[in-house]
Amino acid sequence: MPNAFNFSASPFDCLTAEEQSLVRDNVDIAYYPEGAVVLDVGNAPEHLFVIIKGYVTQTEGEEVLATYGPEDCFDGRGLVAGRVSSRFTVAEELVAYQLARSTVKDLIARNRGFGALLFSDLGNKLSALAQRAEQHQMQSLTLARVDQAFLRPAHVVAAGTDIVSVVRIFQDQRTTSVLVSGLPDGLGIFSNTTLQRAILDGRPLERITVGELASSPVVTVRAAEQIGDAMALLLRARVHRLAVLGEDGQVLGILEALDLFSYLANHSHLITVQIEEARDLPALEAAAAQITRLVAALHRGGTRIALVAQLVQQLNARLFERAWQMIAPPDLLANSCLFVMGSEGRGEQLLKTDQDNGLLLSDGYEPPADLQAICDRFSQALAGFGYPECAGRIMLNNPEWRGTVTGFGDKVRGWLLQPQGESLMYLAIFMDAHAVAGKAQLLAEVRQRVMQLATDNDALVARFAMAIDAFGGAAGWWNRLLSLGGDADLVNLKKAGIFPIVHGVRSLALARRIKATGTVERIAALQGEGQLDEAMAQELVQGLHFLMGLRLQAGLAELELQRPVTGNVDPQRLSSLERDLLKDTLSAVKRFKALLHQRLRLDAV
């Protein structure tokens, strides 16, 4: 039997040496001419086929479901089920390994990962992939447990302890913080930063109790949680320390930001510090330049896409907020809400994209006479940070994207009630709006009014959802995914899969008055309301993250070559497993679109 069998291709790359030997002893080579039907509907397959040369198309009726090329295998599912449900036809002269059914079943029984990657649904395939890569991913320290980092001893004092006594503890124990018990809100914390407030208070320090100035409740994290989640919590809560709790809820120690980020050594803390300490726009620009390098480092380390996106959203939000605070006068800050939209608003942006933002003003507020100049300066600042101006001018320096709660709310309702031109696109973009500075309640009020109009209005929601079909049918994507010979066309992952998932979920969320702006949060809410079953919800979440990961990988490669970032993917540069997962993901997208057509009656629009 041939020794050239490629065990580096999925799913055979998870086999042990003994299992590889079993394959070598039970595999043959088969040849089929162009046009031959290798397997047909209803056949009981006797072999698993692994393509050496040529292409095979999988069809149901007149519809092409997938195309298989070198190193791809088929039909594992039919082999396990005992019956083929599609037709597999040779599109280009085929030479393939054929592995006996008994051998395949033996491998499945021996190796759970092999079976999952061979014939499971998308969710199980991605789960198996994650398990198989666990050893590599653990090298990404963001996946380590919190208690694997350095924890400082927790020193607890009563709320009535005077400040001088606390300072003695600082000196004797060489610490910079103490936990404070006996506070109304539970355990609090007093640090050397808070000590400055005590000194400036003016009273003798021995007469000030620590409970008067302690921050409470203290922000906590469980010892078993991941380091990456602790990092996200630090950024979100804007604190420098976390109290680490054991399984019994007792404090095990204190995790300080500097210790955490020294452990991770990925410079995210430095970016946060740079943003917080920046005193002018050039200093913020220097911090912004570090964000893309952080994304690349996290991706190389195997950090999960959901966490990378979460960190990017939090860093960007703080960056935009600090820039707005530097540019806008205090009165405007106090009477406005700066919001971002699109992937940034959903928390799904990885690499820097065009600006999508707007500005809401309190009703009755008289803005500064130079509001336009203020907004122009902000848009220019973001451009300097690496976020180019939006070609469609969906930015707050465009008067169309700023206004009072009442005025802008009327405009948004008009987009929904009288759809014409690009109004539905504007509505879709606004539905993902997320407040980053100022009075978030202003944005909540506008969104609530839109939700009320959409409820029980099937025609409006259906019109809104129709955009899922804006980029053509699935057959075109299969052809681009694996062209028959020659160079394959690039696949635009946003159009092929990301947008249909995001906008389809957004449409269902609009119909159900779901307030969440992130796609994953919307999916969870829809599943909770019975609008999506568990299997579909899992496929959509994991499929979205898989596509985002592929797009990030392609975008980073374009950056390294100093090319414009498109995020388009060349299927020929994907591994066989990535191509397989991409096919499965696009199949899941197709099923989701069919569900939307049925649920929202899109064919009647």
Mean pLDDT in residue range 398-402? 95
Q: Residues near 529 by Cβ (< 8 Å), separated by ≥ 6?
A: 512, 514
pLDDT, position 52: 92
pLDDT tens digit sequence for 244-261? 999 899 999 999 887 787
Residues 247, 151 share a domain: yes
Beta bridge partners of 357: 340
Same domain, 200 and 329: no
- Alpha-carbon distance of 54 to 92, in angstroms, equals 5
292 and 441 assigned to the same domain: yes
* pLDDT at position 421: 64
pLDDT tens for each residue of 288-307: 988 888 888 777 767 788 88
Neighbours of 95 (CB within 10 A): 13
Q: Please indicate, yes or no, whether residues 168 and 295 belong to a single structural domain of this protein.
A: no
Domain count, the chain: 4
Closest CA to 78 of 122, 44, 129: 44
Q: Is residue 125 part of a domain?
A: no
Residue 482 clears pLDDT 50, i.e. is over it: no
Same domain, 31 and 169: no
**Predicted pLDDT at 88:** 94
**Pair 313, 420 in one domain:** yes
Examine residue 498 and state whether it is found in any structural domain, yes or no: yes
- Using DSSP's 3-state secondary structure scheme, residue 58 falls into strand
Burial class, 153, CB count within 10 angstroms (exposed 0-12 / middle 13-18 / buried 19+): exposed
CATH, residue 45: 2.60.120.10
Look up the pTM and report it: 0.70
**Same-domain status, 486 and 590:** yes
Closest to 69 (Cα-Cα) out of 578, 587, 589, 490: 578
Beta pairing class for 87-100 and 37-39: antiparallel
Answer with the one of 264, 287, 310 that is the final residue of a domain. 264
Which tokens in the block code for residue 196?
Answer: 């400055």
450 and 476 housed in the same domain: no
Residues 243, 279 share a domain: no
CA distance 344 to 322: 16
The CATH number for 598's domain is 1.20.120
Q: Give the end of a domain, one of 209, 238, 264.
A: 264
Tell me, yes or no, whether 137 lies in a domain. no
Helix (H/G/I), strand (E/B), else coil: 121:
coil
Q: By percentage, how much of the chain surpasses pLDDT 70?
A: 89
Show the CA angle centred on residue 287, arms to residues 283 and 291, nearest 5°.
160
Q: What is the pLDDT of residue 438?
A: 94
Domain range for residue 321?
Answer: 273-454
Query: Do residues 499 and 427 both lie within one domain?
Result: no
Give the CATH number, domain containing residue 318. 3.30.460.10
438 and 587 within one domain: no
What is residue 134's predicted lDDT score, i.e. its pLDDT?
45
Whether 6 maps to a domain, the answer reads: no
Is residue 267's pLDDT more than 80? no
- Shared domain check, 363 and 383: yes
Does 139 map to a domain? no
